[in-house]
Amino acid sequence: MKLLVVDDDRDLVELLDFVLRRAGFTVIAAHDAPTARQTMRTERPDLVVLDINLGRWNGIELIADLRRERDVPVVLLTGRDSEEDKVAGLEAGADDYITKPFAHRELVARIRAMLRRYGRQPQAERPAAERLQVGPVTLDTQTHTASKEGAALNLTVTEFRLLHYLMRHAGTVVPTADMLRHVWGYDDPAGSDVVRVTVFRLRRKLEDDPADPKLIQTVPGVGVLLHRRPEVQPPAVT
């Protein structure tokens, strides 16, 4: 698997290069946003590890640019006190984050979990195809498509997996820890932010009015509820 590491700290990039190559990955480095964009086009990496702070370049805008190129998974590297940057990065489309300083094994585990979520796994390990319908929302795992009232939903892979998990448990409150474990592939109480922001992103794409959600509701201190809702019946012909 080919990874693109984007950070203006050359010492950190050198360390990441060593750690990730030792774990069996091919590593390409970029130290600024223009190089990262060009490398994305020419090398087509399987995953991007990105420091949210790139000196004079805006890491948030870079995430959006990378997303426009293709649906590649993005793991953020953030400082412990950069709560605002972390949330902004997730809202921009990043899939996960890890805080500095970080354990090397944790970073490698997060990357491998992300690659599995994006389908970089043997065909035999993939679950059987499902087609689910909950109220106005339809999801098909075989074609990897989702729609609401027939209109296609443009979801990232992580958003699709979260919606799939919620639809399989529609009508019940899904605990945050369960979502983190089954969608992101790890247990970490500090990961509640990545769940919260991804739910927020999903709500913006599914709800008629995200400020007044009818489908996806948060139960404070517990988790998330995807409501079952009867199909909207067409008006009677008179």
pLDDT digits (tens, 9 = 90+) for 62-90: 888 887 777 788 998 887 566 777 788 88
Taking alpha carbons only, the member of 163, 175, 157, 162 closest to residue 135 is: 163
* 169 Cβ contact partners less than 8 Å away, ≥ 6 residues apart: 226
pLDDT at 221 over 80: yes
Distances (CA, A) of 192 to 34, 176, 177, 186, 205: 32, 7, 8, 11, 20
In this structure, are 193 and 179 located in the same domain? yes
Q: How much is the pLDDT for 204?
A: 92
**What confidence tier does 233 reach under pLDDT thresholds 50, 70, 90?**
very low
For residues 213 and 27, give the distance between their C-alpha atoms in angstroms, rounded to a whole number: 42
- Using the 3D structure, point to which of 123, 145, 161 is the last residue of a domain: 123
Domain range for residue 207? 128-226
For residues 76 and 78, give the distance between their C-alpha atoms in angstroms, rounded to a whole number: 6
- Using the 3D structure, point to which of 92, 123, 154 is the last residue of a domain: 123
Residue 218 lies in a domain: yes
Which residue has better confidence, 175 or 118? 175
In this structure, are 18 and 116 located in the same domain? yes
**What confidence tier does 238 reach under pLDDT thresholds 50, 70, 90?**
very low
Residue showing tokens 């247990």: 187
Residue 234 lies in a domain: no
170-191 average pLDDT score: 86
**What confidence tier does 120 reach under pLDDT thresholds 50, 70, 90?**
low
Q: How much is the pLDDT for 203?
A: 93
Distances (CA, A) of 39 to 5, 48, 124, 232: 10, 11, 32, 47
* 87 Cβ contact partners less than 8 Å away, ≥ 6 residues apart: 193, 197
**What confidence tier does 49 reach under pLDDT thresholds 50, 70, 90?**
very high
In this structure, are 218 and 142 located in the same domain? yes
- The chain-wide mean pLDDT, for the chain, equals 84
Please report, rounded to a whole number, the percentage of residues in the chain having pLDDT higher than 90.
Answer: 40
Residue 191 lies in a domain: yes
User: 187 in helix, strand or coil?
Assistant: coil
Residue 216 lies in a domain: yes
Q: How much is the pLDDT for 128?
A: 64
Q: What is the CATH number of the domain that holds 202?
A: 1.10.10.10
Q: How much is the pLDDT for 51?
A: 87
14-23 average pLDDT score: 92
Q: Which of the 8 DSSP states describes residue 183?
A: I
For residues 167 and 147, give the distance between their C-alpha atoms in angstroms, rounded to a whole number: 13
Which of 2-6, 93-97, 118-122, 145-149 has the weakest average pLDDT? 118-122
Q: Is 24 left (phi over 0), alpha (psi -120 to 50) or beta?
A: left
Contact 104, 19 (CB under 8 A): yes
For residues 137 and 214, give the distance between their C-alpha atoms in angstroms, rounded to a whole number: 12
Residue 236 lies in a domain: no
Residue 199 lies in a domain: yes
Q: What is the CATH number of the domain that holds 100?
A: 3.40.50.2300
**What confidence tier does 229 reach under pLDDT thresholds 50, 70, 90?**
low
Number of domains in the chain: 2
pLDDT at 4 over 90: yes
In this structure, are 119 and 133 located in the same domain? no
40-51 average pLDDT score: 91
For residues 160 and 73, give the distance between their C-alpha atoms in angstroms, rounded to a whole number: 13
In this structure, are 107 and 140 located in the same domain? no
In this structure, are 82 and 175 located in the same domain? no
In this structure, are 165 and 106 located in the same domain? no
In this structure, are 185 and 80 located in the same domain? no
In this structure, are 85 and 141 located in the same domain? no
For residues 89 and 77, give the distance between their C-alpha atoms in angstroms, rounded to a whole number: 10
Q: How much is the pLDDT for 29?
A: 94
Which of 10-14, 54-58, 108-112, 123-127 has the weakest average pLDDT? 123-127
In this structure, are 111 and 136 located in the same domain? no
Q: How much is the pLDDT for 237?
A: 44
- Using the 3D structure, point to which of 66, 96, 123 is the last residue of a domain: 123
Residue 237 lies in a domain: no
Distances (CA, A) of 182 to 1, 4, 18, 164: 23, 25, 30, 11
In this structure, are 97 and 160 located in the same domain? no
pLDDT at 25 over 90: yes
In this structure, are 188 and 212 located in the same domain? yes
185-189 average pLDDT score: 76
Helix axes 59-69, 83-92, angle to 10 degrees: 20
16-31 average pLDDT score: 93
Residue 232 lies in a domain: no
Strands 74-79 and 47-51: parallel
